[in-house]
Chain A
């Protein structure tokens, strides 16, 4: 089963019930200080519902920090963040996730003591009711079935009952993606999902991203231009904590400033 098919089976009611202004994310003047260091500064960014955006920038540009502010892993020091029109600036992470936001981590954050199946099941449970249920899932439980579909979509069915600690690096990256696609995602933040993957695994990743249904938008941080250009409609460039340029992949590729700072810099 393809990833797209598996999402078609997702919770349609949850999607339709959501109020939408047409924008998935609206950031206004968002800044984050770590002590005296401004990791990001005055970031203003709008991502439409269903839009696929790439964020590029050198190491330490503040890309991951931007993600952390959007998901609520860290609260921003300044600015406001709207998620589907709703001001979520002060919301805890779990409230934002329950509204359709998802993310993957640059350095895998998985449950090492649990199996692949349990990891994905938890992801499905987290965005549905019954998080505190004392009843074990019964045979034919829909969430267990959904978890198995996700496991298949990221090609981990053979490792279903393997403990995460025993997975290869590439498999852990696949699992990261499965966790971010549980439930009914509406906008997903992918933090360098292709880093460290083999060419085959990269191709699979591109297929998964391109196979996502149209209503699911995402922001992807990606150093590899080849991958970024194949999966994004628009590109934002970050440097020193600020977004300094935005455009279509072609515009960005041909921009002299970008070429000087990033592409032509020779350090990537």
Chain B
């Protein structure tokens, strides 16, 4: 027993000292960004990256730690966004209730978590391709339902003028406050996933991923554990959904249409579902491509609409060359560099 404590407490440096320099640099860049980047970059590029990253992070949690590829995450996020519009204020006064933010935010997260949990309860008894199919089926049902239901979801037109509350006298839809709001939420969600991955709940989820039969033989209720993972992931997706509705100032069925649902999968896979940072890398690539490639394409005399082609090709390339995403490429490059500089092992393949 004493041996363990020594190993944990004595020799190792403080946790602050253990943070690699790359993280310090990244933190510094992100915190000081408003000083040198324009509003468009802050609001449109970075804000959107953090939001999509959060939603894709919820998929990374399920897929990377739980082995469950869920296509419902975008719908869960949209559900939270809709709840903000319905329980908070919007341009559709007949439906929106105009409750204060400290009521509609918990309601939005709660409803979205309930929705995600129910979908999870239906999906966890299936595996692999069937999980993908059942979540995709529910996601498209959600899309058509919101488009056809006018009493709650206001059908085709959805809700406009959905803005964040004027908290502390700040207009949170201004570029700089919104940038820090999304950065803060992304950092909290990221830290929560990293922390939980080493807590009993997350560790057991990885056990369920590796070997569900053995987990049952160790006393774990595998089904309940998987459903709980959906609940946790839904809370994260809901946070992303609330930020998304604030950024767009509107929500409509297309927010969780099938293309958007697939985009989340693409983002998570391109970034890498092995580690929680992957979805944010994927989101940055996606946002940069979809923001700037139309200009690039037009410059080459192609139609700007073709940016989806570029993203699709990028997706193919990543899946083909690096199944563990851009993160996997980076890790392999690091490992190779370490090998090269190691005189004993040399520079062989």
Contacts and interface: CB of A to CB of B under 8 A. Distances in A.
A73 interface: yes
B220 A126 contact: yes
B127 interface: no
Interface in A127-141: 127, 130-137, 139-140
A179 interface: yes
Contacts of B217: 71, 73, 93-94, 97, 102-103, 105, 109
Contacts of A182: 218
B216 A92 contact: yes
Interface string A171-209: 000000001001100000000000000000000000000
B83 to A, nearest CB: 24
B202 to A, nearest CB: 8
A268 to B, nearest CB: 28
Interface in A147-181: 148-149, 179
Given A113-B206, A131-B204, A145-B1, A179 B218 contact: yes
A147 to B, nearest CB: 9
B231 to A, nearest CB: 10
Interface string B112-149: 00000000000000000000000000000000000000
A148 B203 contact: no
A92 B4 CA distance: 35
A122 B207 contact: yes
Nearest to B195: A136
Contact of A113 (B196, B209, B213): B209
Interface residues of A, number: 41
Interface string B185-212: 0000000000110111101101101110
A134 B218 contact: no
B111 interface: no
Contacts of B228: 132
B204 A113 contact: no
Contacts, number: 109
A208 to B, nearest CB: 19
A244 interface: no
B173 interface: no
Interface in A91-111: 92-94, 97-98, 102-103, 105, 109-111
A118 B214 CA distance: 14
Contact of A114 (B9, B210, B218, B221): B210
B301 interface: no
A126 to B, nearest CB: 3
Nearest to A149: B1
A134 B199 contact: yes
B200 A111 contact: no
Contact of B207 (A97, A103, A111): A111
A93 B1 contact: no
B345 interface: no
A77 interface: no
Given A130-B200, A139-B8, A109 B219 contact: no
A127 B4 CA distance: 22
Chain B contact surface mostly? helix
B215 interface: yes
Interface size classification for chain B: 20 to 34
Contact of B200 (A71, A102, A137, A140): A137
A123 B195 CA distance: 20
B213 A73 contact: yes
A218 interface: no
A121 B203 contact: yes
B225 interface: yes
Interface string B211-241: 1011111111110010010000000000000
Contacts of B207: 111, 114, 122
B258 to A, nearest CB: 32
A120 to B, nearest CB: 10
Interface in B57-112: none
B5 interface: yes
A48 interface: no
Nearest to A111: B210
A259 interface: no
Given A110-B211, A114-B207, A114-B210, A122 B225 contact: no
A132 B214 contact: no
Contact of B220 (A71, A112, A131, A137): A131
A126 B4 contact: no
Contacts of B216: 72-73, 92-94, 97
Contacts of A72: 216
A220 interface: no
A125 interface: yes
A144 interface: yes
Contacts of A123: 218
B214 A111 contact: yes
Given A93-B216, A131-B225, A109 B195 contact: no
A148 B220 contact: no
Given A94-B217, A113-B209, A132-B225, 14 more contacts: A73-B213, A92-B221, A94-B218, A94-B219, A102-B217, A110-B210, A113-B210, A114-B210, A118-B206, A126-B220, A131-B200, A139-B9, A149-B1, A183-B219
9 contacts: A73-B216, A73-B217, A97-B216, A109-B211, A118-B206, A131-B204, A132-B200, A145-B4, A183-B219
**What 6 pairs between A and B have smallest CB-CB spacing?**
A126-B219, A126-B218, A97-B219, A93-B216, A111-B210, A109-B214
